[in-house]
Chains A and B, each alone.
Chain A
């Protein structure tokens, strides 16, 4: 089963998937932008600032999802000692960091007109900042440590420790009194968001997911080529 997912076996599939996903991304982002900037209604309290939600919320979800995936693959790497899992994590890290920065910045741009401040040291904002620090540490450990086995181990440890921060981010708005509003979209309970706002949100989320898939596959391809490059020395 695992052999089917080896870089050598999926390489040709990566190029084809990138092409298909690029077309999908362009369609989704076009529809998503029209919906979120033009068609979707304004909020009766927040007015037009609610439109920031269409980039802020998907960015936050992807930032959290990427780190959860990095942590998961780091655990698998420890169990199965398979370098492929570490490569997947490494390929996801740039995306995760970028979306964390986008989430914090767009959140700040939303916070100023809504709360009257760009930044507050509240639980949700601070835990997101901590997430960005974990991403930086994870990426630095790959970059700074020259021994590949050691860098793989250290980065995996950082990712596993960082997993503790994810439930803190998710439940910070419930556990503490924060400026940040509680979640309006729930998986288990009924969501409190209106369908006219849910459609553009889901379109933008799908578009950014397609974009993430493109970048991840390109990064993963780079890692495979780097491996093949090293393999040439052993010929």
Chain B
């Protein structure tokens, strides 16, 4: 186990490379997910502000309907 972590003294370089890659991937994933939820929420709020006749038009549309279903889950 000690050998696996130390890697003949190169562990600091190897682990740093893997950890840096993981942190970058996780950061971009979380940031993107947050932005997606924000946009879905904004869309839903904007639809709710519309008059009832226009809401009906929006709900008839395929993509808009899917965004609204998704944002209502939060």
Contacts and interface: CB of A to CB of B under 8 A. Distances in A.
A102 B66 CA distance: 35
Given A48-B10, A228-B67, A229-B43, A219 B21 contact: no
Contact of A228 (B25, B54, B64, B70): B64
Given A106-B17, A110-B13, A228-B67, A235 B28 contact: no
A215 B21 CA distance: 15
Contacts of A112: 13
A235 B64 contact: no
Interface string A68-99: 00000000000000000000000000110010
Contacts of B36: 218, 221-222, 225
Interface residues of B, number: 36
A47 interface: yes
A38 B70 CA distance: 40
A105 B17 CA distance: 8
A15 to B, nearest CB: 7
Nearest to B57: A235
Nearest to A33: B18
B22 to A, nearest CB: 9
A215 B33 CA distance: 9
B20 A49 contact: no
Contacts of B43: 225, 228-229, 232
In terms of DSSP, what is the predominant structure of the interface of chain B?
Answer: helix
Nearest to A107: B17
A102 B17 CA distance: 8
A154 interface: no
B61 to A, nearest CB: 8
A8 B14 contact: no
A73 B56 CA distance: 36
Given A47-B10, A235-B57, A215 B40 contact: no
B74 to A, nearest CB: 14
Interface residues of A, number: 43
A43 to B, nearest CB: 11
A11 B68 CA distance: 13
A48 B32 CA distance: 34
Given A52-B13, A113-B13, A232-B50, A106 B58 contact: no
Interface of B: 4, 7-8, 10-11, 13-14, 16-18, 20-21, 24-25, 28-29, 32-33, 35-36, 39-40, 42-43, 46-47, 50, 54, 57-58, 62-64, 66-67, 70
Given A49-B14, A95-B28, A106-B20, 15 more contacts: A12-B63, A37-B18, A51-B17, A55-B17, A55-B21, A106-B17, A109-B13, A112-B13, A208-B25, A214-B29, A221-B36, A228-B67, A229-B42, A229-B43, A232-B50
User: Top 8 closest A-B pairs, CB basis?
Assistant: A48-B7, A106-B17, A225-B39, A48-B10, A55-B21, A52-B17, A11-B63, A109-B17
